[in-house]
C-alpha cells in the first residue's frame, strides 16, 4: 500500500498552479456529452475521478479525444444520443460522477447500473434517488447504497426542497429537469456550489436562480462550448494552509477558481488572521471568477466557525483542522455532519490522526473541537484511503517535530495528480514509498 513520509519541517514558498477543478471537469464532460456539437475543454483535471466520468461517457457512445492530458474534446451526441453501456458504469471513488449520472441517466430510454470502489459503494445514494423518483424515475439502491439500478423512464418536472445542502443532489435534479417535461424548481437550504447552473448557461441553456431557488424548463438543447477549467480551489486549499504555516517568502498560487460558493476556507483563514492577498483576474471564464492568491506565513488564532460557512468550505475541513491545530487557542466546528459521509468519515479520520500526532481534540456528532498551539509530534496516521486526509497530514508535516508517516495514499490521484512533485517544488519534504 502506497504511503508518504513527510517532514519534519520544510517551507512552502515560490509559485505554483494546482490542477484543474474537479467539479467543473466532471460537469464539462457530462454537459459536453449531451450537447449538440463539439465541446473543447482545456485545463481538464486528469485525475482518476474525472477519468471515471470520461470512461462512462465513452461506454455510452460519446467520442472523446484527448490531444493532451489536460485538453479534452467531446463530440456531443445530443440529449437523445446516449446509448446503453454493455456493462455496469464504474464510477471509482467519485461521488460526483455517480450522483450527477443518476440525474443524467434516469430520463434516458435505456437502463444503467452504477457501481464504484469500496468507499463509494458505502455512500448514501437515496438523497439523489428520492427527488428523481418524485419526477417519475425508476431507481433502486441496496439499503440506500450502490449499486444503483436505473430503468430509464419519462420524467416530469418537480418543485423540490432539498433536505440537505448538497450540490450533487441539486445538480442531479437539474440534469433530470433538463430532460423532463415542464418546469423543475429546486430550493436549497443553504447556498452550495453552483457550477452546474453557471456551466449550463455557457452551453446556451436558460436557467434562473432567484434566492435559494433554481428554475429550469425541460427540453432545452445544449450547444457545445469552450470550457477553460480554472485551478481547483479545493486543491489550492492545501497550499493556502501550507503557506500560512511556512511561507518564509511569499507563496503565489495562480489561476485559482474563486466561485463564491467555494471560497469559505479563504474567509475562515482570514478570520484566523492569515496573510492572504487576492489578485482577481479581469473577466471570468464561462461564468467562473479566477484570481491569483499570495500567501505569507501568518500567526493564526483559533475561531468558532459560523455554520453558514460550512457548505462553502465543505471539502476543505481536513486541511482547515490542520490550520486549527497550529493556531493559538481553541477552534470549534459544528453543523458539519455531512463530513461523515464523504470519501471517508472525515470527522472521525481527522480526529484519529490529530490524536496520533499529539493534538488535543474532541469529536462531536456534527463537528470537531481542537486545542491548537504546538503543532504536531511525529507519528503514523491512516488516511483511510481518503485523498484529502492524506494531503492534509502532508501539510501538517511543515509544523511537525518528527516525521509523519501517512498510509493508504494512492487515492490522492483521484483529485490531485502530481501532488508530491508540486509540494516538493515549493519546499515541502514529502516522499512516496
Ligand atoms: C461536489 C459537491 C460536494 C463536494 C464534492 C463535490 C460537486 O458534495 O463535497 O466533493 O461537484 O457537486 P455534496 O453535494 O455531497 O455536498
Q: Is the pLDDT of residue 318 over 80?
A: yes
Closest CA to 199 of 35, 43, 61: 35
- pLDDT on residue 283: 73
The pLDDT-based confidence of 157 (bands split at 50, 70, 90) is very high
Looking up cell 508535516 gives: 397
How much of the chain exceeds pLDDT 70, in percent?
100
Measure the CA–CA gap between 236 and 327, rounded to whole angstroms: 20
- pTM equals 0.98
Measure the CA–CA gap between 237 and 243, rounded to whole angstroms: 10
167 alpha carbon – ligand 1 mean position (Å): 6
Q: Is the pLDDT of residue 287 over 90?
A: no
Is 275 designated active site?
no
Q: Which atom of ligand 1 is nearest to the CA of 311?
A: 16
pLDDT per residue as tens digits for the range 99-136: 999 999 999 999 999 999 999 999 999 999 999 999 99
- Phi, psi angles (nearest 5°) of residue 55: -70, -35
Which among 21, 194, 232, 315 is annotated as catalytic?
315
Mutate to test the pocket of ligand 1, among 168, 191, 391 (most ligand atoms within 8 A of CB): 168
What sign does the dihedral 318-333-198-92 (CA atoms) show?
positive
Q: What is the chain's mean pLDDT, rounded?
A: 97
- pLDDT on residue 349: 98
Q: Is the pLDDT of residue 59 over 70?
A: yes
Measure the CA–CA gap between 88 and 103, rounded to whole angstroms: 16
92, 117 in Cβ contact below 8 A? yes
pLDDT per residue as tens digits for the range 353-407: 999 999 999 999 999 999 999 899 999 999 999 999 999 999 999 999 999 999 9
Measure the CA–CA gap between 296 and 251, rounded to whole angstroms: 6
pLDDT per residue as tens digits for the range 171-209: 999 999 999 999 999 999 999 999 999 999 999 999 999
- CA dist list (Å): 215 to 60, 154, 177, 224, 259: 28, 19, 9, 22, 20
Q: Is 319 helix (H, G, I), strand (E, B) or coil?
A: helix
Q: Is the pLDDT of residue 285 over 80?
A: no
Residue predicted with more confidence, 283 or 411:
411
Ligand 1, atom 11, lies closest to the CA of 23
Q: Is the pLDDT of residue 145 over 90?
A: yes
How many helices (H) and strands (E) the chain has is answered by: 13, 23
Answer whether 96 contacts ligand 1 (Cβ < 6 A): yes
How many other CB atoms are found less than 10 A from the CB of residue 159? 12
Q: Is 257 helix (H, G, I), strand (E, B) or coil?
A: strand
Amino acid at each position: 500500500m502506497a504511503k508518504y513520509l513527510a517532514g519534519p519541517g520544510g517551507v512552502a514558498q515560490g509559485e505554483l498552479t494546482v490542477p484543474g477543478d474537479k467539479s467543473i471537469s466532471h460537469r464539462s464532460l457530462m454537459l459536453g456529452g449531451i450537447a449538440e456539437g463539439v465541446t473543447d475543454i482545456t485545463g481538464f483535471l486528469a485525475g482518476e475521478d474525472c477519468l471515471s466520468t470520461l470512461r462512462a461517457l465513452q461506454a455510452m457512445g460519446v467520442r472523446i479525444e484527448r490531444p493532451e492530458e489536460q485538453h479534452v474534446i467531446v463530440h456531443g451526441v445530443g440529449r437523445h444520443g446516449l446509448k446503453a453501456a454493455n456493462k455496469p458504469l464504474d464510477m471509482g471513488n467519485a461521488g460526483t460522477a455517480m450522483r450527477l449520472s443518476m440525474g443524467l441517466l434516469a430520463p434516458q430510454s435505456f437502463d444503467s447500473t452504477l457501481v464504484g470502489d469500496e468507499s463509494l459503494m458505502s455512500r448514501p445514494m437515496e438523497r439523489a434517488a428520492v427527488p428523481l423518483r418524485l419526477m417519475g424515475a425508476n431507481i433502486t439502491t441496496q439499503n440506500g447504497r450502490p449499486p444503483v439500478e436505473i430503468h430509464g423512464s419519462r420524467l416530469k418536472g418537480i418543485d423540490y426542497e432539498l433536505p440537505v445542502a448538497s450540490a450533487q443532489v441539486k445538480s442531479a435534479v437539474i440534469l433530470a429537469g433538463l430532460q423532463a417535461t415542464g418546469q423543475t424548481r429546486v430550493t436549497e437550504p443553504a447556498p452550495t456550489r453552483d457550477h452546474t447552473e453557471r456551466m449550463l448557461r455557457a452551453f446556451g441553456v436558460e436557467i434562473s436562480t432567484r434566492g435559494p431557488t433554481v428554475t429550469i424548463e425541460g427540453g432545452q438543447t445544449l450547444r457545445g462550448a469552450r470550457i477553460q477549467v480554472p485551478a481547483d480551489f479545493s486543491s489550492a486549499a492545501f497550499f493556502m494552509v501550507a503557506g500560512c504555516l511556512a511561507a518564509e517568502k511569499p507563496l503565489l498560487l495562480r489561476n485559482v477558481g474563486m466561485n463564491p460558493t467555494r471560497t469559505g476556507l479563504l474567509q475562515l483563514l482570514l478570520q484566523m488572521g492569515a496573510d492572504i492577498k487576492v489578485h482577481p483576474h479581469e473577466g471570468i471564464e464561462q461564468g467562473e471568477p479566477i484570481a491569483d492568491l499570495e500567501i505569507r506565513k501568518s500567526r493564526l488564532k483559533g475561531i468558532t466557525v459560523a455554520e453558514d460557512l460550512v457548505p462553502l468550505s465543505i471539502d476543505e475541513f481536513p486541511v482547515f483542522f490542520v490550520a486549527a491545530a497550529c493556531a493559538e487557542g481553541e477552534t470549534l466546528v459544528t453543523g458539519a455532519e455531512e463530513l461523515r459521509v464523504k470519501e471517508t468519515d472525515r470527522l472521525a479520520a481527522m480526529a484519529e490522526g490529530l490524536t496520533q500526532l499529539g493534538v488535543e481534540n474532541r469529536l462531536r456528532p456534527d463537528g470537531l473541537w481542537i486545542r491548537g498551539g504546538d503543532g504536531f509530534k511525529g507519528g503514523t496516521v491512516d488516511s483511510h484511503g481518503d485523498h484529502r486526509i492524506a494531503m492534509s497530514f502532508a501539510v501538517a508535516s511543515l509544523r511537525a517535530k518528527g516525521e509523519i508517516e501517512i498510509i493508504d495514499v494512492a487515492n490522492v490521484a483521484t483529485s490531485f495528480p502530481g501532488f508530491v512533485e508540486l509540494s516538493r517544488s515549493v519546499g515541502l519534504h514529502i516522499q512516496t514509498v
